[in-house]
Amino acid sequence: MSVSAPTFPVSLPAVHGTLTLTDKVQQAMVDHALAGLPNEACGLFSGTAGGTTIDAFHPMANAAASREIYLLDGQEQLKVEHAVDEAGRAVLGVMHSHTHTEAYPSPTDVDDASRFDPLGIWFFVIVTLKDPDPAVRAYRIVDGEITEVRVATCPG
């Protein structure tokens, strides 16, 4: 299945809120995205329940093994969620990379959000490898509506 990103420039929605990643988490996400080439990479991330600071990244295999889509392996996802729960923390969202398009949710990403996060609780982080310097952006996706969230970093 081929998914095309919007042609840029497009009018993006206003940025709402801030998602804070520790420096180590942001670097781990970028490193995982690069290591996954030529395919998209993916993983979950966690922090304090209800929080907006991400201090743990859980890289996962892309079960789709595709450069255009990602698929979390169900067994691996259960293991990550169990470990996070056991630590008294919460999974706050999913990261995936775009190998050759902008860091903006594709129609497939929006459909996945509707199916797997219908209440809009998770953050969706996209690392784009389109340009030589990877970029990291974050979104909330609720009822098909995409809202960008500012990404900040902190030491850690």
- What would the two tokens of residue 147 be? 């809202």
CATH architecture assigned to 15-154: 3-Layer(aba) Sandwich (3.40)
CA 56/CA 144 separation, integer angstroms: 27
Is pLDDT of 154 > 70? Answer: yes
- What would the two tokens of residue 108 be? 């497939």
- pLDDT at position 18 is 94
- What would the two tokens of residue 62 be? 């892309």
pLDDT digits (tens, 9 = 90+) for 47-61: 999 999 999 999 999
Tell me the H-state helices in 37-143. Answer: 74-86, 107-116
Q: What is the largest CA-CA distance in the chain?
A: 44
CA 91/CA 94 separation, integer angstroms: 8
pLDDT digits (tens, 9 = 90+) for 92-137: 999 999 999 999 999 999 999 999 898 889 999 999 999 999 999 9
